[in-house]
Structure 1
Amino acid sequence: MVHCSTNLPSGDAVQLECLLRLVELTAPRETARAIVDMVQRHFGCSARVVMWLEDVAEAIGIEGGGRPDRADMQRVAALMAGEEPLRVDGRRVDVRLDDDRAALLLLFPNEVSAPVLDALAPCMRLAGIHLRRALQLQDLHESHKQLEHSEALQRALFAISDLAGSDRDMPDLLRGIHRIVSTLMYAENFFIVRYDAESDSLRFLYFADVEDKEVPDTSRDIPMESLRGTLTWHLIIEGRALMGTMDELRKQVAAPLKPVGPDSHDWLGVPMLRNGKARGALVVQSYREGLRFTPEDRALLEFVGSHILTALERKRNQEDLEQEVRLRTLELAEANRGLQLEVLERQRAERLQAALFHIAQLATADIDENEFYERLHAVVGELLNAENFFIALLSDDRRILSFPYYVDAGARRTASREVGRGLTEYVLRTGVALLGDSERIAELGRRGEVDPARIGRPAFCWLGVPLRVDDQPIGVVVVQSYTESVSYGAADQELLSFAALQIANSIHRRRSAATLQRANAELEQRVAERTRELSEQILQRERAQDQLKHQVMHDALTGLPNRGFLRERLDHILGRLREEPGRRCALLYLDVDRFKVVNDSLGHLAGDEMLKAVAGRLLKCVRAPDMVARLSGDEFAVLIEDVGDRAAAEDVARRVLDTLGVPLQLAGRELDPSVSIGIAIGDGNYIVADELLRDADIALYRAKELGRKRYMLFDDTLAKSAIDVLAMEGELRQALRRGEFQPYFQPFCRLADGEVVGYEALMRWNHPRDGVLGPATFLRVAQDGGHIEAIDWRVFEAACSAIQQLHGTRPFLTINVSALHLQHADFDRRLVRLLERTGLDPARLIIEVTEGSLLDDPERVRGTLERLRGLAVGAALDDFGTGYSSLSYLHSLPLRMLKIDRSFVHALDEGTPATTTVVAAILALARALGIQVIAEGIETPAQRNALLRMGCEFGQGFLLGRPAPIERWADAVPAAVAGAG
């Protein structure tokens, strides 16, 4: 065997040299390079330090730095997952310098000997200490730098606000804004533009450029069409930031780019948005070689831009207000001149108001129809000359025109005729008033608008106004003159139009009152008949309510009380036990053993018969006031209201086991039914029914674990053994280190043909002892221990990488994002970095959020989703219909899809009209809003067929495919998924 040279420096000498070299180093990269140089020089081996800086792995060697290759990352992963900080494998030695962020990888020319390891170990401990301190110091520097940046930004925003509230003129304000922006970033070349959407024009408010000598005119608006194709035009039209060199900018815009002014080495422009619309833009550019803008500069300028827009709008509003004051002063002077005319007009209006009030009173006056029309005539006569006056009304079928009141040349008569082409019909047909002299009336006759034979005696001046009710003409009121001494003008037309509104209303009200009087007479005749019918219906309804109450609180299959009934009864009994401390009750929680086997083997009808038989036998095991209830499926409960001790409850449990163990004839077979029982003794320490149900359920679970067909009594030991939280927290930490969490994928399918269109990534734990565990097993402990976010990000990244193994297809991927993630302001940026690392197209990713995650800060969540949508990442609302205010989020959130909760889908099997109506309404609402719908929890063909009939296109559930690793779907035939499950 060949060993390394034994001519090694002593351990103390190496430690001393290591300490002397590292003590003055503070930067992580410099410390890593010193470690690599020292190890290679003293131990004659090749070395690389792999560490994470800003969440990116970097390999440091004597020749420089770079990204570690796959082999290095595998060695680091194995080292980090192990217990020991040092691993030796032949010529390879791996040392953990930091538990989470740094490792040293060594390759010796020969197999490593014990002396080498003895000399290496203390040196590496010192190196690890210094490298950890360097990493911590760098973290502190980054935090300090971020704090300084935030303070500078805050000072800038305060300065902008102060400028907006000052009395400086606009040019001085803009120069001040330029100085403020220059304190935040390089802004030697800077201009501000304001966009007016109404005129589709743009104005340069401020322009400063060291190279461009053609300064735009800041006093005039420029049509946007004249700037088509320029960078500024693209910035306003597209409403998003542009950044980069001219070549890079050409790739960012949708239309050809038209260069203006001298070429810059780098250009950055951001729109100033208000309600999602561009109202202006800020632009900075660099003519210096090597001076480039960063994404941080872009984000900063976008953030500052909204405040600058607010400041500009405040300043502009102030100037507009001053201009408005000047104009208002001139208007007041003009108004003063018209005051006398207004006084005259008001006197006229008072007369009109009195007339309208008089007409309104006539609507309810106790007078006959003749007197009603005579008084109307008198009121109109007070407003204008109404010597010749008539009212015409249309019949209900609009075919007959009647004249209930007609006064002409002092003679009064009534008449009616079929609707023709007279002047009255012309007003009804056009719906507008007609003021015409003899010449105008003759012109209407020549045009064929009216029939001269229908006109009768020609009038010198004719004025007719339509009578309207709910914008529907019901008749016409007319005044006319046969002499030149009496004519009507626009003022008379206006007066008669006002009066016509009230006349129509009064006529309509009198008609309605007459109709109502007739209806009341008919109604009185029907009241007696209806009273008899109602009495009978009340009796039927009372019986139906009693039956409905019984159905709500009882199980439809067995007739036993249901869970709701049991909870009410338990709450009542527990309240009584708190008042009587010496009394106790017992709850037996039962589960029919192997009931699923009966259902699967003999069918659901046989299963139902078995449940009814079990219910009947349970009733024989209790006495009043004890009760038996069916909780759900094959779960039952027996409530014993008063037990002397635990032995009495156990006696009942043994009696139940014996009674239910008698063979049962079912579907032509003899079955040996059995149950498992959990017993909880209730006393004054229990507050609510759910606590007693929980403890009985825990005891039932333990009884089933021990082999079924037995009972188990709940005690403190059983409660503690239900879950060892501390042990699981330790296992979760180890699982994170060892990478034991992975995504399982459940498909989304088109219901019509079963084609897979996407997958939902679901969390699974590959436990080394217990196998694959679902999130229900460990989720609460992970949340309480603060591990859930780290687990989520591991699963997110693994899912984004794995989905790309499905070659030939491009299904979308959904990931479940909890409210905890959405509380972080940088969630969207971190998600974008993850997509960049994995190479997944953002358009294929959809994040699922629940309604509960929107409650803490809806505006922040909405902003995060809007930014992600700008990057093509979609959003889906999960468990729709079960949250707090489902409908309130649909119109306000940028949603790409919503998922109908499985509770609605499962209820489709029952065929209840209410459930079908709710699902159909959700589908119609989603279609109206342009949101894609996926029904989740489809487990039966009946559910799928019902959804297809209602127009639901996509679905998810065990019928369509169960969650599985990506390898399962990479090998699957897509069309076969429709029959999976």
Structure 2
Amino acid sequence: MEVVPDGESLAGALLRAITPEEVARILLEAGGAAAAGASVAWSAHWPFSIETFPPAVPGEVLRELRDAVGDRRAGLVASPNVHVMHDDGDARVAAVHCPAGCPSPGHGVLALTSLRMEEVLSIQHLQGTIEQLEQAELLQRSLYAIADMAGSDHEMPEMLRGLHRIVSELMYAENFYIALYDSQRDTLNFIYFVDTVDTDGPQPGEDVPLSVLERGLTWYLIREGKPLMGNDDELRAQVPGPVNWQGADSSDWLGVPMLRDGKVRGALVVQSYVEGTRYTVAEMSLLAFVAEHILTALERKQGRDELERHVAERTAQLAEANRELRHEVAERKRGERLQATLYRIAALAGLDESREHFYRHVHDSVGELINARNFFIALLSEDGEEVTFPYVRDEFERNWGARRRGRGLTEFVLRTGKAQLVDLERSRELLRTGDIDSAMVGTPTKVWLGVPLFDSNRAIGVVAVQDYESDEGYDDRDVELLTFASHQISSSLQRHRAAEQLRLANVELERRVEERTVELRAEIAVREQVEAKLQHQVMHDALTGLPNRSYLRDHLDRALSTLARDPLKGFALLYVDVDRFKVINDSLGHLAGDAVLKQVALRMGQCVRGPDIVSRLAGDEFAILLQGEPMPEIATKVARRVLDAFEAPLEVSGRSLQVSTSVGIAVVDGHYTAADQILHDADIALYRAKQAGRSRFELFDEVMQRNAMDVLDLEQGLRDALVRDEFEPCFQPLVRLDDGSTLGYEALLRWRHPQRGLLAPGDFLDVAEDSGLIEAIDWRMFHHALAASRELVGTDRYVTLNVSPRLFQREDFDVRMLALTSELDFDPARLRLEVTEGTLLNDPEAVVAVLHRLREANIEAALDDFGTGYSSLGHVHRFPLKMIKIDRSFVTPFAGSPIEMRSSAVIEAILALGKALGVEIVAEGIETEAQRTTLLGMGCELGQGYLFGRPAPASHWLASR
């Protein structure tokens, strides 16, 4: 049998070993490995709480032991230096570490010690379990005790002492305090503080600002919300800043925060001044757990105390409210009695009875409030000089006739305007001061009470009561009651007087009304005539006498209402416009224009029946409302009649004028709901008739509606395109026809539509003109074109820009154009502006002035599409032009054979004009060699068209050089 070094048997030694440390020592001594640096490690909570023998084991040895146990559990090859003595696969592990060169314990020694190590670890585990159960039982009893205290009738100090006793049963807690935290006021209330050494601690119930305890241990508990435990050095290492030590120095300190919903509500602290008494991690966890229950108990206790306090306060409040309520009930009964009396007095004014009966009822009503056996009402005359007594009930006094105003008690009330309560002593005082005269005092009374009656702010009388015998008399409450009654008596007297005055006034009013009625009848007749005239003026046109737009809209609304009730009551609206009326106004003047409009109105009136309405809307716009069946046959028949009515010329100012009209027709059905819709659709049809050549009519249909919507969509698209900068220039060369060399480029507008792709001006220019957006589009185009063509034109070419007629109506057009060239550093001599014949003739003098100013700045002008407008060859010489461009309509016929003679004659005339004026002539629309050859043969030197290149970006022409 193997033995331990002292000669004792190994088995006997192991049987006496009751701790893992003793087993480990026997193992190392028996195997002789202790001197070679071997060690044993074990734990009942592996890999935590590891204990070793010898006690001081290097960290790398512990890591090797942990790794070896982990490798063995994973089925891997463990370190050869480690022998696992016991491993239950969970938490109980023991292993021996023998470094290189160390003699390993024998198999028998290792087997016996492993068995004993397993036994002592199991025993240790069981003892730990028993201790945990005892601790859990103690904790459970403590928690029950805490809960019982929260629900007990103990006062707060007694409860806090009980909590202290409970914590002392769980750990050393001779020195103990509880502090509650008020986050709103940032204060601590040390509700309980017991310390055997620190006798200067905070007083219980005292609110201490947290700033006073700044950087103290309790301050860190509240601010950080984490437990703190240990001696001074350990505590200093646990907080994030310096420590301001407060109170007596302790050997060990343990504090935990009391938390509710993650927020700190207070702190629980125990501390020891006895060396060797240390708190453990388990005790810290236990105190933190108990702190939560103590906080709950304190909150319940405080809540219960607060509830009892509220109950006591509420009971006192209810008692006071009850007293006030009884007083209020008494006052309300008195008020109800007063109110009922006042109502009766007020109702008396509406009774149709004599004044004597009225006064008697008033007396009876006042008698229900106060002692009124002796009662009178005195009234002041209108001039204020006499006092009368229309009603008196008195037991002794008999002299109540009217009297001059003197110095009696009644007059004293009238003079002061206040209620007067006069007893014998007061009466003597008034006699002494001269406020009353003894000659006017009748039978002496023990007490007299008089209250003034008011009309607005003037005292008109007195209501009084008096007592000759009673010792009780009257008091301030009686004064108040009689004053209330006096207000109602005053109102009733005034209503009586008003009723009498009203009766007399009604008689007088009836007489005056009869007289005034006769006068008003005459005035009404005149006013009706004036209103009829004004109504006619408001609803009719002053020039033609026709109904105006308001009149028409009113009848359209009525017709729509009729149609809604009866779908068979259809109607139609004809929108009529005088063609080219502006030319008449501009050439003959507005007086002649007015004469034309009068004759147009007369002729249109002859085209309709009696029920139909002809109206003038504005300017040269008229409308005809037709009602009847069938539609649209009647509408088209009337439209033809209107067109035919103007075949004969009009005689105006000694001139014979041929005038025509265009007509748009809207036939109204059930989908129309407003007059504006009808006018809008008829206007669209009129616009279509004008586009189709004038002197005709058009019926509005769904196609027109869609086209109108397309125009609106296109207009909105143009506005969006300006915002998104979707306009860009393309360039088409202008060349010499003989050799095809490029002289310049025409900048052509293009719209890169996000859905429809690249659009030419023909797709949107009309809408841009009508909507007024063309100016903004032109200037955006000018900017992009000049910026893109600076390199393209160089020093020997030019670029042409097409200019809208609207821009020439702006006085600052030339200034703005020159500013643009300066901004873009573009040579003005390389720029030519293309204008149409309509632009030149719109305001010739203004256009000539602008073109001259531009020429002075080296910007030349070109006349575009020559031959398609209203000008003649003789007008061109008036304008400073550098170039004339022959419209493509004259070049197109040259594509075939024989050559079209009319086009040839026009082109030859233009070429001759250009030679005579020294103006360059450019033929547009050249697409074939035949056209080029023909034009060269006629003497045309310059041209433009698809034959020489289609419009393309500037980059294309730069790349093709």
Q: TM-score, normalised by structure 1?
A: 0.37
Tell me the TM-score normalised to structure 2 length. 0.37
Query: RCO greater where, 1 or 2, for CA within 8 Å and sep 6 or more?
Result: 1
Larger radius of gyration: 2
